[in-house]
Amino acid sequence: MKFFYFTLFISLLSCSKSVEDKCFVEKMNNTDVIFVDDLKEKPYTVKQILDQKPKYLDIINLKKFRTFKKDSADSHFYTSSDSENMIRKQYVEFKEFKSKFSDQFVFYAKEQVGNVQYGLGKNNLGYWLLKIENNKADAYFLGLSFSHYYINKIQENPFIENGFLQLQGSLVKIIKVAGLPGYDDYSAMEDGKLFKIKINDLTKDSDNDGYNDIFENSFGLNPNNKDTDGDGVNDFEDMNPMFKSGKNKFTELYELLLPNYGTTDMKKMYYVFQVYESDCDYFHQIRPDVRVLFIPENKDKQTYYTKITDITDEYISKIKKDKEDPNRFYIQKFGNSYGNNYSADYEKGKWILKLGGGYII
């Protein structure tokens, strides 16, 4: 997880901070330090993973299995020719899932049990069990971090059996490669694992809002309250389920920096989330066109899942005020392979954003 040295410095200084402290900075960050924090994080050992595994998960050692190496080689779809095959496979083999979930997941495996269709999906947040029953589609978050758990894309045995989800895979580690964001070194520590979860534990949705408890617990939503932020909109329908939206010039500034999905309506994309690490109230109060989740800057306040899983691929900084002009501000936006510095002028109730430099890797 990326955050900046100086942010860490500020959070060490004070526990309760004002909006002013949480949203504004005196000095803009040097873009060069963004990846440093990532690189010094040590991957977990097998023992650490097992010690902290979710309670609902059982891990069984298999005698016969596909290794991580073999499975990832067989299903490697990052080269251009394979990528075409992958897309074709997704369209043909996972037609029903594609029609129900569109592009919210990459689909791995499927299985029919009675009149229920099960599938395995993955997106930027992690792994999901997908279910289509009587034309109704649901997705249940597994809560198994891809930083620790690799689930074989090719499941040789039925993965739904006797009320259990049983997935073959490996325990893995990710090592970040300096200067090459996205080219993480992903390797197995122990192959031949069967990850076993009771379907009832997985599908449990205590507040009946549409997201399973495991999902809500993983990201800091309230699994016992349909409406975590109390804004009158249930978590499942809420584009910003963690915080009540507001409207002022700084929330508008943050909204301008959100990704643009063009004319695509993201309201029905219940499982697509953009995740930001921020403590800034103005940022929290945005009214986004795509679902957003926020991760606290302080590691101690993060959920276990978000602490160990690199799910943020975009960062928007705090705001810096201009020393002389009260209507001029500065803000930065980073991705895994770029950083942009903006100046923002507030004129006649509107923001004028100007790109003032940056970099692309």
When the beta carbons of 159 and 273 are compared against Ca ion, the nearer one is: 273
Tell me which residue of 220, 225, 231, 229 sits closest to 209, measured CA to CA: 225
**Between 121 and 241, whose beta carbon lies closer to Ca ion?**
241
Least distance in Å: CB of 217 to Ca ion? Answer: 10
Closer residue to Ca ion, CB minimum distance, 238 or 297: 238
| For Ca ion, the closer CB: 104 or 222 | 222
- Smallest separation, CB 237 to Ca ion (Å): 8
103 vs 231 by CB, closer to Ca ion: 231
Minimum distance of Ca ion from residue 137's CB (angstroms)? 16
Of residues 71 and 201, the one with the C-beta less far from Ca ion: 201
Vertex 28: Cα angle to 320 and 176 (nearest 5): 135
Cα separation values, 196 from 157, 166, 240, Å: 13, 5, 32
Name the residue number minimizing CB distance to Ca ion: 238
Q: Which long-range contacts (CB under 8 A, 24 or more apart) does 171-180 make?
A: 171/46, 171/49, 172/68, 172/146, 172/147, 172/148, 173/43, 173/44, 173/147, 173/148, 174/43, 174/147, 174/310, 175/43, 176/35, 176/38, 176/39, 176/41, 178/35, 178/39, 179/35, 179/361, 180/361
CB of 335 to Ca ion, least distance (A): 28
Least distance from Ca ion to the Cβ atom of residue 214, Å: 9
Longest dimension (CA), the chain: 70
Q: Which two tokens stand for residue 265?
A: 């309506």
Binding positions for Ca ion, rule: CB under 5 A: 205, 207, 209, 211, 222, 227, 229, 231, 233, 235, 238
Q: How far is the CB of 101 from Ca ion (least distance, A)?
A: 18
